[in-house]
Structures are given as C-alpha cells and as structure tokens.
Structure 1
Amino acid sequence: MKAEIIAVGTELLLGQIVNTNAQFLSQELASLGIDVYFQTVVGDNMDRLRQAIHTAESRADVLIFSGGIGPTQDDLTKEALASVLGRNLHYDRMAMDNIDRFFRGRNIPMTENNRRQAHAIDGCTPLPNETGLAVGNAIAHNGKFYIVLPGPPKELIPMFQNQAKTWILQQVLTHEKPIYSKMLKFAGIGESALETRVIDLIEKQSDPTVAPYAKESEVTLRITTKADSESEAMAKLDTLEKEIASRLGDHLYATGDIPIEKTIIDMLTELNLTVSCAESCTGGLLMETLTSIPGSGAVFQGGIVCYSNEMKEKLLHVPHDLLEGENAPGAVSAETAKVLAEQVRMIVDTDFGLSITGVAGPGYSERKPVGLVYIGISRREHDTLVLELNLKGNRETIRTRSAKTILYHLWKQLKEIADEA
C-alpha cells in the first residue's frame, strides 16, 4: 500500500511555516505499514491543486491532504478534490452545529465564509474536528482512498489519531494483517557506524523489517512485522531484537521511543541515586535536558552554570593557576573538567557530578579550536572519568552533542551499577 502526502498552502512554498505535518503523517503511516513514496507541497491554486491530485492518483493508493480547508476563498482543497472525483459538496450538519455553537458561545457574529469549514464531499465520512472548526473528510473512490485534514498541527494530529487512523484500519487495511513494531534507541554511536554493524540484517530483511532513523546524537532502529496475533509478532521481534542487542548492547539504551534523558532519570530513580551538574560552554543545556523529564526533581539536586573563569573559581573552587597563567591547562582542559565534576558533586552532595567545558564557537577560545570539549563524570568513591571530545558542527550542534554524549557515558555507568545489583 503506497501513500502520498499533499500539503496545501502558499505559505509553505514561501517558507513562512515549516511542514511538520508531513513528518508526523509519514511516521504514523509507516507504523501502519503504509509506505509514503512522495510528499507534495502545492500552493492555493485550483488548477495546480487538481494537477497535484491527478499526479498523486497515478502513483499512490492513499492520498492524505493537509491544509486548505479553512474559511477563506483560498482554502480550496475540498473543492479541488470534489471536482476531480466528480462529486458535489454539501454542508455537514454536525460540523455546522459546532461552528454555530462556537460563535454563539463567544457572542460573536458569524460571517458567511465560516460555513465553508463545514463542507463535506458527497459520499464521504466526515471527520469531526475536536480542537477546531473545519471538518475533515475521508472517502473511498475507484480503488483509491482520500483523507482531507486541517493544516494546523493542533487540529491535524488529534483528527488523524482519533478519526482518520480508525477509518484507515476499517476501510484501507481490511485485508492486511495487523502491524507490530518496536523502537530500539541507541546513543554514543553514529548512524553510519550503527548501520555497518547491522547492514546484513537490513540487506536481507523481509519479515521482520529493519529501518534506521537518526536525529541529533541518537539513532533509532524500528523493527516491524505483520502477524495474526501480538504473541506471534513479539516472538519474531524479540528474536531480532536479541540479535541486534548482541551486536550493539553497549549503545542500546531503550526499547521504546524515549530520549536517553528519560532512561537516565528512570534509572537514577530506580537505583536511588542523585546527580548534579557544572556547565560552562553548554550554558545550562544539560540541566535543562534532565529537568525536562517529569519526576527529575527526585534525582536532580541542582547545578551551576560557570561560564566565566571567575565563576569557576568563586563557585566551584577551581584553582586560579589551573585556569590562567603561562603554563596553565586553561578552562578548556581535562584538568578543569575533572575539578568541576568533583566539586559540584561534593558541594551539592550527590552521587554523581557531571561537568562540561569547551569551545562551542563560533571562534577559538584560549587558542583552542571550536568543537574541543571535555566532559567529566565524578562518582562517589570512584575515580573520575574525563573524556576529550572533538565535535563538528555549529554552536548549537556542539552544545547539544556535548550534553547528549555525557548522558550516554552516565548511562553506561548506571547500567554497570544496575547489572551488579
């Protein structure tokens, strides 16, 4: 089963907004076993929109539209699709009632053009809008399937998850076996290096399938199978997961779609351990990453952003002759990273102290190159781990990779503790 996503809106072509809907829809369709072969963006023009529909029909079974169903004259998606299908539009009564209630409840006169948001193509299944006014449409026609969704993500996402997905399962995938997937999450390894270690599994895949995905400092493998039952599916997926884990166990931190910081907070909580941070070039990014996870307050005790040498001395007692002087290692050094990690752990009184100091850019610092970063992990009653990183990318990339890298090495230590328990 092949799909094409058609995003409608001149603002997309002008770069005024980012098409995040395409990413969401592609991920959702992939989880259903529907392959997205094309993504099309078309402006608010009737002729070009009809042409885009005809082109998509020639190469896809399922056409998913986002946008172009609002109240204004340039919202043309339903009109264009109805024209291509040779069907008429009507007003969906439930959608019209919802629009009437909206304006009455706010004591605002409803302009006539708002009625356009209640348009439905004859013969379609209306998709109620839980967070907006424009009703969605789903329709089967001559062996093709069409789903029309609103453009705003806050409306599109719940409509797809709560309405359109059910319609797809009932109308599109009626003869397909259910699809089951697992997300394997890896850290401390790049996409190309990971692929090299499982390339034989990817090349010979049939069922289950293996698909890699990458984002900043994390890599995901989605393993997917079709089966008559969940137990049958899990038996196949578990076998493949064990094979992958045997090759990449030092990097496999989760078997679910969660970030490494969530895994770390959960492990610290389970092990009844605490952590603190001292950050220089990351400016608090590491602490923000950890505290973005609900429940982090039970294990993250606090930290210090010590951007200047003065703050490193005053707040974390880094010796002056370590930071400055003709033969001083400097703020960007293994020696300073070690002291920062040990001092913040002792000052805050935690089981772990983490430190990051380096050059995020855009220029050199202490005559040291952009991307040179030192990280430190101080563990109570253990030797302090200090690592030198030589990172590539812009300022934000270096900061993010620094934070993610130290989290990976903290995860490795927590894993050792858990395995010994």
Structure 2
Amino acid sequence: MNAEIMAVGTELLLGDIVNTNAQYLAKELALLGIGIYRQTTVGDNEERLKKALSEALKESEIIITTGGLGPTPDDITKEVSGMVLGKELILHEPSYEVILSYFKHNDRAMANGNQKQAMFPEGSIVLDNPNGTAPGCIIPGENNRFIINLPGPPKEMIPMFENKVKPFLMQFMDHTIISKTLRCIGLGEWDMATRVKDLLDESKNPTVAPYAKDGEAILRITAKAATEAEARAMIAPVEEEIRNRIGEYIYGTDEDTLQDVIGRELVEHDRSIAIAESVTGGMIASRLLGYEGGMSKVLAETFVTYSNESKVKYLGVKEETLKSHGAVSEETCREMAEGLHERTGAEICLVTTGIAGPTGGTEEKPVGLVYIGLGVKGQVEVHKRYFTGGREKIRVRATIASLDILRRKLNELAKG
C-alpha cells in the first residue's frame, strides 16, 4: 500500500510556514508499513489542487492532505477532494452542532463562513476535532482508495492522526504496531542517545528512536507483532533496560506532561507550594496551572518579583544582601526562598533569579546565569545553572530546570 502526503497552503509554498506535518506523517506511515510514494505541496488554487489529487490517486491508495479546512474562501481542500471523487458536499449535523456551540456568542463568525467547516463530501467518515474548529474526514473512493483530509495546525493534526486515522489504517495491516514514549528531562538528546546507542538500531524489533521537543528528550519504543499483547510484551524488557540506564531522567510516559506529573504529586500528598519568580517572570506558575487536577488546592501564592524593590517588599530580601551580592546571587536566591516561606507558610517554596539578557551580563555573571531556590519547610537548597540561547530560550530552559528540580525533590519526599 502506497501513500502520498499533500500539504495544502500558499503560505507553505512561500516558506512562511515550515512543513513539520510531512515529516511526522512520513515517519508514522513508515512505522505502519505504508510506503511513501511522494510528498507534495500545493497552493490554495482549485485547478492545481484538483490536478495534484487526480494524479496522486493514480499512484497511491492513500492520499493524506493537511491544511485548507478552515472557514475562509481559500480553504478548499474538502471541496476539491469531493470534486475529484465525484461526491457532493452535504451538511454533517453533529459537526454543525459542535460549531454552533463553539461560536454561540459570535454570530459574526458563523455568518462569515464557519458553518462551511461542517460540510463534507457524501459518504465521508468525519473525524471530530476537540483541539480546534475544523473536523477532518476520510473520503472513500473507487478501487479501495481514500483521501484523508486533516487540519494544518500540528496541535490539531497530530492528535487526529493518532486517535482517528491510525486506527482506521490499521485495518489494512496484517500486524499490530504499538508504541510507548518515555519522556526525559535534564538530559539532552545527544547525551540520551549516547547512553542507549546500542538500542538505536532501526533493523531491530522493537525499534527505539530519540526525539527532542520543547526542552525535553524523548525515546519512543515501537514494536510490531501479530497482537497488541505480543507487542507490549516485546516493549517491556526494552523499557526496563532503558530505565536501568537513564531512569532518574524519565519523568513520565506517553501523554504525560511535566506539569501533570508534578501536579499529581502535589495534590495526592496535599503539599502546598508557593512560587516567586524573577528571571522566569511567571512561566513556572503558568506551567503548573496547566494541570487540571486541582492545583487550586495546593498552590498557595505566586509572585513575580522582578525588581529589587519587589524582592524586598514581598519576600523580605535584605537591601544589604542586594547591595553586597546583587539580585542574581546565591545569597539573594536563598533569602527569596526563606522569605517566601515566612510570608506564605507553604510547605514547598520555589524561586528563581537570573540574567536572561541580552544585556546585563558581566564576566563574573554572564547572560544565562540562573539561581533556582527550593525550600521544604523552610530548609532551602540553591542550584546554580548556566543556560545558552536568546532571552526567551534562557527563560524557558530555566523554567524547565526549575520544574525538574521540584520533580526530583517531590520524588525524594515520596520515598520518605
């Protein structure tokens, strides 16, 4: 079985957007044993898209498109896909109801074309989209051929492929493919890959593949077998071996997020936490608030104490300390954490101070220097870190490092 991956959008042709969707889909289809006949990029032009789809159907059984499912006139992927397969567009009532609900306070959006997103070629398998307003669809054609329309934004496309398209494609396979993702923090992709180098053999089954994403390092173990149970049994010893080597860096699996792992630990053990941020400017609190399991029960207070004055006013940092050692110092960081505990009474207190740049660095205290303070019942430890990159990258890396330090401490506390 062959597939063609077709990205639709003039912005892709002009280089305004990098096509990461094609890379993701190519890897996923290869894992399923589906050959990639061709990758194509087509602009928002009806005749060109029609020609591209018609040619693709001659060579491949599966054509997966990304993009062009929005409400504007130049979003024409579904319309042209239906035209090529000789199918009229009809209203899909369940999708229409979802869109109506989504825009119930925005009549203008509905009047300007959002109802268009509920129209699908006749006979389509509609793929709901909990991450956006544009559902996808699988359109059957003649000779067991299919055009699969997926949304363009990766945050919408990837879950739709994983949860809807992959199970659909599996029916054509004579085997089962199961993957398990190990999520690591505090370990770079190269360092991680070096430690498990002998396992990274694409000819093996299961395969182990490293990825880097948003400051994390990821290992995906993928097994091919006749049944799901057999595949999972093959994954288990490989996972155990990886954990023996880098277990301290693994914070979760599959869909886990760092904030979810930390949030669960805080809530389950009823540990109150307070946060005071200088260099990270609220990023840590924002990440933790992403946990939906009851952060309001444990998050006592948060402060953004960017200026020296705010460190003195809200955290009780001594002016003499700031004058003698500076805002970015172990001494100031320690007093921030101690003061935060005194003022909030939180069991756990997490603070940051540093230099994100691009100015403000010196030879003694360069841009990228960050101090992270973590207190437990008033007992404070200070971690000194150096991060590279631009201002935003330094702040993000400092946030991730702070959360990792917190995660490790919570693990220690859980073990007693």
Q: Shorter-chain TM-score: which interval?
A: 0.7 to 0.9
1:224 to 2:225 alignment? no
Aligned equivalents of 1:90, 1:70: Cα separation in 2:
19
Aligned to 2:301: 302
Aligned equivalents of 2:190, 2:265: Cα separation in 1:
28
Aligned equivalents of 1:56, 1:276: Cα separation in 2:
57
Q: Which secondary structure state, in structure 1, belongs to the residue aligned with residue 285 of structure 2?
A: helix
Q: Which secondary structure state, in structure 2, belongs to the residue aligned with residue 244 of structure 1?
A: helix
Aligned to 1:235: 233
Aligned to 1:89: 86
Aligned equivalents of 2:118, 2:310: Cα separation in 1:
61
2:184 to 183, 186, 197: 186
Preserved CA contact (<8 Å) 1:183 1:255: yes
C-alpha distance 348-63 of structure 1, shift in aligned 2 (>3 A): same
Deviations 1:154-182 (CA, angstroms, capped at 9, x unpaired): 98678757764454233x33x2x222121
Aligned to 2:45: 45
Preserved CA contact (<8 Å) 1:79 1:89: no
Preserved CA contact (<8 Å) 1:276 1:353: yes
The residue correspondences of 1:362-373 to structure 2 (distance < 5 A) are: 362-365=358-361, 368-373=365-370
Q: Percent identity?
A: 40
Aligned equivalents of 1:94, 1:152: Cα separation in 2:
23
How big is the shift at 1:213? 1.7
Preserved CA contact (<8 Å) 2:92 2:120: yes
- Structure 2: where are the runs of 5+ without partners? none
Aligned to 1:375: 372
Aligned equivalents of 1:380, 1:316: Cα separation in 2:
16
Preserved CA contact (<8 Å) 1:216 1:401: no
Q: Which secondary structure state, in structure 1, belongs to the residue aligned with residue 393 of structure 2?
A: helix
1:258 to 256, 259, 271: 256
The residue correspondences of 1:29-178 to structure 2 (distance < 5 A) are: 39-46=39-46, 48-49=48-49, 52-53=52-53, 62-68=62-68, 77=77, 89-92=86-89, 95=92, 117-120=119-122, 125-128=123-126, 136-139=137-140, 145-149=146-150, 164-170=165-171, 172-173=172-173, 175=174, 177-178=175-176
How big is the shift at 1:128? 3.1
2:398 to 386, 389, 402: 402
1:246 to 2:235 alignment? no
Amino acid in structure 2 at the alignment position of 1:91: E
RMSD of aligned residue pairs (Cα, Å): 4.2
Aligned equivalents of 2:36, 2:202: Cα separation in 1:
21
Aligned equivalents of 1:286, 1:109: Cα separation in 2:
40
Q: Which of structures 1 and 2 has the bigger CA Rg?
A: 1
1:346 to 324, 336, 342: 342
TM-score, normalising length from structure 1? 0.79
C-alpha distance 415-76 of structure 1, shift in aligned 2 (>3 A): closer
Deviations 1:39-61 (CA, angstroms, capped at 9, x unpaired): 54310235643665578679866
Aligned equivalents of 2:143, 2:63: Cα separation in 1:
13
Q: Which secondary structure state, in structure 2, belongs to the residue aligned with residue 363 of structure 1?
A: coil
Aligned to 1:197: 195
How many residues matched?
Answer: 404
Preserved CA contact (<8 Å) 1:128 1:163: no
Aligned equivalents of 1:109, 1:281: Cα separation in 2:
45
Q: Which secondary structure state, in structure 1, belongs to the residue aligned with residue 328 of structure 2?
A: coil
Preserved CA contact (<8 Å) 1:32 1:179: yes
Deviations 1:57-112 (CA, angstroms, capped at 9, x unpaired): 798663201344678875554676678xxx65232556599889x99x98x9999x
Aligned equivalents of 1:137, 1:361: Cα separation in 2:
49
Aligned equivalents of 1:98, 1:209: Cα separation in 2:
38
Q: Which moved more, 1:225-234 or 1:36-45?
A: 36-45
Amino acid in structure 2 at the alignment position of 1:371: G
TM-score, normalising length from structure 2? 0.80
Aligned to 1:337: 333
Q: Which secondary structure state, in structure 2, belongs to the residue aligned with residue 203 of structure 1?
A: coil
Amino acid in structure 1 at the alignment position of 2:315: L
Aligned to 2:412: 416
Amino acid in structure 2 at the alignment position of 1:358: G
Aligned equivalents of 1:71, 1:403: Cα separation in 2:
37
Aligned equivalents of 2:235, 2:302: Cα separation in 1:
41
Aligned equivalents of 1:321, 1:110: Cα separation in 2:
61
Q: Which moved more, 1:360-369 or 1:158-167?
A: 158-167
C-alpha distance 70-214 of structure 1, shift in aligned 2 (>3 A): closer
Aligned to 1:279: 277
Q: Which secondary structure state, in structure 1, belongs to the residue aligned with residue 248 of structure 2?
A: coil
- Structure 1: where are the runs of 5+ without partners? none
C-alpha distance 348-164 of structure 1, shift in aligned 2 (>3 A): same
Aligned equivalents of 1:161, 1:31: Cα separation in 2:
12
Q: Which moved more, 1:195-204 or 1:126-135?
A: 126-135
How big is the shift at 1:353? 1.1
Deviations 1:12-32 (CA, angstroms, capped at 9, x unpaired): 434666767657756875785
Aligned to 2:384: 388
Q: Which secondary structure state, in structure 2, belongs to the residue aligned with residue 148 of structure 1?
A: strand
Q: Which secondary structure state, in structure 2, belongs to the residue aligned with residue 214 of structure 1?
A: strand
How big is the shift at 1:330? 0.4
Q: Which moved more, 1:38-47 or 1:353-362?
A: 38-47
Deviations 1:263-285 (CA, angstroms, capped at 9, x unpaired): 11111223332221111111111
Aligned equivalents of 1:406, 1:296: Cα separation in 2:
17
Aligned to 2:10: 10
Aligned to 1:292: 290
How big is the shift at 1:202? 0.4
Amino acid in structure 2 at the alignment position of 1:210: V
Q: Which moved more, 1:26-35 or 1:252-261?
A: 26-35
